[in-house]
Amino acid sequence: MVCKICPRQCGVDRNKGVGFCGQGEKPAAARAALHYYEEPVISGCKGSGTIFFSGCSLKCCYCQNYPISHGNAGKTITVERLSEIYLELQDQGAHNINLVNPTIFTQPIIESIRDVKHRMKIPFIWNSSGYELAESLRMLEGLIEVFLPDLKYVSPKLSALYSGAADYFQYASQAVLEMYRQAGGVRLNQDGMIEKGLIIRHLVLPNSTHDSIKVLQWIKDNIPEDAYISLMSQYTPIPQTSGMKFLNRRLSRREYHLVVQKLQELDFKNGFIQSLESACPEYTPEFDLSGL
C-alpha cells in the first residue's frame, strides 16, 4: 500500500522503496534503553523506556539526532520484537515507554502496542516533531496515554528554511489539537509521574524569539490550561549548521529571557522551563543499537 501517513504524503510503496523519510515499512530504531534526560514527570528516578526510531519525516537542518534522522542509522526489527522491547523496558523498571520520532512507523507501532497492551502497566508516550496528519493520529485512539509533541514554528518562512516544510504549522497545530482531544490534560500518579495528557515542547532557536513568542501565544489561545508546556533552551549547533548565519551559535541569555518573560506574562499555569545552563551532551545518547 502506498504511504501517505505524514504530511509529506509521498505515495510510495514502502515495501519496494522509500519516500522522504528514508524508511521502509518495517520499524527501524537505533536504541531502546532507559533515558534520564526528559522532563522530571517523564524520566523520574528510574528512567523513561526510550526507543529512538530511525528516519524522519521532517529532517530539521539542526537536528540533534542527525545520524538517525538524516543518516538513517539503526536496525530494522519486526513488529513482534518491538512488542518484546516494550515488555523488556517495563521489566527494567521504566516509568513509561517513550516512542521518539514514531510518526513514520505509525502502523507497525499500532500493531505492536495492540499485541501487548493487556500486559503493560506503564503509559505509552508519543514523542514527535508535531509534523503529523490529524487523521493518522486518530488511529492511535486508546493506545497512547501521553502526547509529547514539539511545536517548533508558526512562521512558514522559518519552517521552510530550517525543516523544508512551509506547511509545518498548518499541520502541527491541527495535530496538537487532536492530541489534546485524545489525551486531555496532564494527570500525575501518586509518585508525581505522568499517567496521561499532553505536554507541548518548544525549543527556542537563536535569532527566532519573535516566532517563539507566536508559538506561545497560539498555545495560550488554543490549548486548555491543564496541558503542560515545556520550554527548552538546549539548542546546540552541529557541524551541518556551521555555515548557517542564524544557527551557528547557542541561544543567548537575552533571547531566552525574552521568551521566558513572555511565557510568564501569558500566565501559563503548568509546565517546565529548562535552565539555560542545563544543556549537556548526555541529552543525546549513543545510537549504538542498545536494547534492540
Q: Which of residues 218-257 bind ligand SF4 (CB under 6 A)?
A: none
If one asks whether residue 289 binds ligand SF4 (CB under 6 A), the answer comes out as: no
Q: Which is nearer to ligand SF4, 3 or 232 (CB)?
A: 3
4 binds ligand SF4 (CB under 6 A): yes
Among 2-10, 63-71, 157-165, 171-179, the segment contacting ligand SF4 (CB under 6 A)? 2-10
- Residues of this chain, 54-113, that bind ligand SF4 according to CB under 6 A: 57, 104
Contact 98, 51 (CB under 8 A): yes
Residue with the CB atom nearest ligand SF4 in the bound state: 19
Compute the least distance from the CB of residue 91 to ligand SF4, in Å: 31
- Residue 5: CB minimum distance to ligand SF4, A: 5
How many residues touch ligand SF4 under the rule CB under 6 A: the total is 14
Min dist CB 155 to ligand SF4, Å, is: 22
Q: Which of 166, 153, 163 is nearest to 62 (CA)?
A: 163
Sole binder of ligand SF4 in the list 6, 73, 260, 263 (CB under 6 A): 6
Region near ligand SF4 per CB under 6 A, out of 11-19, 114-122, 158-166, 234-242 = 11-19
DSSP assignments along the chain, one per residue: -EE--STT---EETTT---TT---SS-EEEEEEEE--S-HHHHTTT-EEEEEES--SS--TT-TTHHHHTS--SEE--HHHHHHHHHHHHHTT-SSEEEES-GGGHHHHHHHHHHHGGG--S-EEEE--S---HHHHGGGTTT-SEE--B---S-HHHHHHHHS-TTHHHHHHHHHHHHHHHH-S-EE-TTS-EEEEEEEEEEPPTT-HHHHHHHHHHHHHHS-TTSEEEEE------GGGTT-TTTSSPPPHHHHHHHHHHHHHTT--SEEE--GGG--GGGS---S-TT-
Nearer to ligand SF4, 170 or 207 (CB): 170
Indicate the residue among 169 and 256 with the shorter CB distance to ligand SF4: 169
Judged by CB, which is closer to ligand SF4: 14, or 262? Answer: 14
Using the CB atoms, write b or e for 23-49: b if 16+ within 10 Å: bbbebbbbbbbbbebbbebbbbeebbb
Report the residue number, 66 or 235, with the smaller CB distance to ligand SF4: 66
Q: Which stretch binds ligand SF4 (CB under 6 A): 10-18, 59-67, 216-224, 277-285?
A: 10-18
- For ligand SF4, the binding residue among 1, 13, 16, 19 (CB under 6 A) is 19
Q: Which of 93, 112, 109 has its CA nearest to residue 101?
A: 109
- Considering the complex, state which of residue 6 and residue 179 has its C-beta at the smaller distance from ligand SF4: 6
- Contact between 216 and ligand SF4 by CB under 6 A: the answer reads no
Under rule CB under 6 A, residue 116 binds ligand SF4: no
Using CB under 6 A, pick the residue from 1, 13, 15, 20 that binds ligand SF4: 20
Contact positions vs ligand SF4 (CB under 6 A): 3-6, 8-10, 12, 14, 19-21, 57, 104
